[in-house]
Structure 1
Amino acid sequence: MIEELLRKRLIFVTGKGGVGKSTIAAALGSLGARRGLKVLLVEVDGKGDVGSMLGLTETSFTPKRAAENLWVMEMDTEAALAEYLRIYVKVPFISKFPGLGKIFDFVSTAAPGVREILVIGKLCYEVRQNTYDLIVVDPPASGHVISQLGVAGDVGQLIQLGLVKNQTEWMLEILADPERSVALLVATPEETPIEEALDLAGRLRAETPVHLEGAVVNRRFVGPMASVETEVVDVIRTFGDSIAGLNEVLAASDLFERICDRHDRNLRLFIDQLGPSLRVATVGEYFGTLEAQELLDEVAEVLEVELW
């Protein structure tokens, strides 16, 4: 049931670029907000896709209200560093320090993982503060999310002392708790995206503490036609040469059937390779022109039925 998923505190919507993970993240956040949850949508890569889909002209590190119960935030690692120093190191007015950007660039270059730990740290901090009922994250595509989700454990192993050790311990507790933090995988039903999604699923399980909860196969062509429809098409074929353009229409119908068959095969492969313990939801391809909010509403309705 969707209620089970929405009881989580932190959901990472992962996948390769171009599969619609931003749309799924925005629809999932909108669904949670409509059910009365206070939701924060976080876009990590800074493209602004999530905010624009929800009607915001711009987003920033300070959350902006997009709808009732729904806020959108754009991750900013320099701002996250300033917030961290203000909260944990007790440095007041640090965000106004003119050299902070240069210091941050130097530190993040000299110490790989700093940017990632700030991103994950900010998300876990919001979970711990209980400011929101649900945080839905649209992270960078594919492999980049692995470095972010795995960084707390990596840093914790490298630095076993002081403030850093204490910080990574509570972050790992949140990330590794499947009742609080999960990943939701998004793919499209084509061969390459399915292969990359399966690879990402393996890496999520092997290299990060975050539990893989399930997957969404997006933009699926649904078919084939019912038997009575097939019979009608067979009759229509007899008029192909006598009606201008009819053969082209029939060829398009045949192509659609082949795409549906291919999507079905790839979906079965994906489900089989992921394993029986994971639920896989499907969202169909939407033809024609829909406004962004209309599309999100349509996808949210499908997720409400399909997910858990």
Structure 2
Amino acid sequence: MLLSYDKLPVALIAPQKGRQRRIFFAGKGGVGKTTVASTTAMFLAEQGYHTLLVTTDPAAHTGQLFGMPVTSTPTRFSESTLWLARIDPKAAFDTYKQQVLHSVKEQFGDEQTVLRVGEELNSPCTEEVAVFQEFLDYLLQKEFDVTVFDTAPTGHTIRLLQLSFDYEADLERKEAFTAETAALDEAQLARMRAAIATLQNPEETGIMFVTLAETTPIAEMERAIADLNRTDVPTQAIIVNQVLPPEAQSSRLFGKRLLQQQKQITQLRLRHQGVALAIAPLQDEEVIGPQLLREFGMNMIGDEKIEGYVQR
């Protein structure tokens, strides 16, 4: 029978009621998150929104898509209202370490203490904290109308989002703030609460998963959706990427593949009835460069339906 699927609704990605908008694209590695996130960011910038695209994925190829270096410092793309940045774990670690050591030196003025703290900071845990702090900076910034997050594979993304809740709980469990850390801890607690309020507010934050119409990425995505639901962070949209075009149904080779994709999409619709389901059609060529990103955006984003998919 004839089926129709919505594109990604503009209302889910554009700021509403004068609020800033944060959009997270999550999902299994290799499903096309960077392309979808980049396309969305470019679309919003071309609608006149001051937009920041941030990648937290070390493997992301944002620079290749836009033909420019992407660093830890937000850089404007051409003469547009789009800015690009990436969270570089090493750069975040170096910056965070210097900030902590400067604070320790100002507070204690003891070189031995500074050296001891510096040694203690040389650990993987410090890098995680540093990346998280930089992530919070982008989450809570007030400069851009929209911030689009191109995230690392699912497990890392969930960890990053849930750290806000973990940090708040740790600070809340402190029986008392010491005189030396009282102001810092209180400020950090306020920061965690602001982050949680932002993540849980669907008018400010949109969690969107990108998947292929395949069992493994869908299963990983659905586990992540359940994890986020437990922290009252709802998923607003699922984008099924690389769906074959309707004409593939007449192909002996691709017809069965399209049928399997349709079955997966139908089941997704049934299991996630409160979530927008969008289709990103398979493109004729790899989406690289502004023009192809624009064309992909026309196929993926809008308020009209995609018609012509047939389930046999």
Per the TM superposition, whether the score is higher than 0.5 is yes
Q: How does 1:37-56 map to 2 (within 5 A)?
A: 37-56=49-68
What is the distance in 2 between the residues matched to 1:60 and 1:307? 36
Match of 1:118 in 2: 133
One-letter code aligned to 1:60: T
User: What are the within-5 Å matches in structure 2 for residues 206-217 of structure 1?
Assistant: 206=230, 208-217=231-240
Give 2:31's aligned residue: 19
Residue 204 (structure 1) shift: 2.1
- How many angstroms does 1:278 deviate by? 0.7
What percent of counterpart residues are identical?
Answer: 23
| 1:1-308 paired onto structure 2 within 5 Å | 1-7=9-15, 9-56=21-68, 58-67=69-78, 68-77=80-89, 79-80=91-92, 82=95, 103=118, 106=121, 109=124, 114-126=129-141, 130-160=142-172, 162-163=185-186, 164-206=188-230, 208-223=231-246, 253-274=251-272, 276-288=273-285, 291-305=288-302
Matches of 1:78 and 1:271, distance apart in 2: 41
Taking structure 1 as reference, are residues 59 and 256 closer, same or farther at Cα in structure 2, changes over 3 Å only?
Answer: same
Q: Structure 1: which amino acid aligns with 2:86?
A: E
Q: What is the alpha-carbon distance in structure 2 between the residues aligned to residue 105 and residue 286 of structure 1?
A: 49
SS in 2 for 1:200: helix
Task: Using the TM superposition, give the Cα deviation of residue 71 of structure 1 relative to its aligned residue in structure 2, in angstroms.
Answer: 0.6
In structure 1, runs of 5+ residues without a counterpart are 94-98, 231-252
8 Å Cα contact 1:66/1:72 also seen in 2: yes
Quote the Cα distance in structure 2 between the aligned partners of 1:281 and 1:38.
24
**Conserved in 2, the CA contact under 8 Å of 1:55 and 1:66?**
no
C-alpha displacement of 1:202: 1.5
> How much does 1:288 deviate?
4.0
Does the 8 A contact of 2:24 with 2:208 survive in 1?
Answer: yes
Cα deviation 1:106-164 (Å, max 9, x = unaligned)? 265456952453143122231xxx21000000111111111000001111101225333
Counting matched residue pairs gives 270
CA–CA distance in structure 2, aligned partners of residues 26 and 70 of structure 1: 10
Report the CA distance between 1:85 and its aligned residue: 7.7
Flag the 1:6–1:191 CA change in 2: closer, same or farther, 3 A: same
TM-score, length of structure 1 as denominator length: 0.77
Change (3 A) 1:50 1:85: same
Which segment is superposed worse, 43-52 or 143-152? 43-52
Bigger CA drift: 298-307 or 185-194? 298-307
- CA contact 2:23–2:205 (8 Å) conserved in 1: yes
Residues 33 and 210, structure 2, Cα contact 8 Å, conserved in 1: yes
> Do the aligned partners of residues 255 and 80 (structure 1) sit closer, same or farther apart at CA in structure 2, a change above 3 Å counting?
same
Structure with max Cα Rg: 1
Q: Which amino acid aligns with 1:254?
A: R
The corresponding residue for 1:234 is none
Aligned amino acid, residue 30 of structure 1? M
The higher-RCO structure (CA 8 Å, 6+ apart) is 2
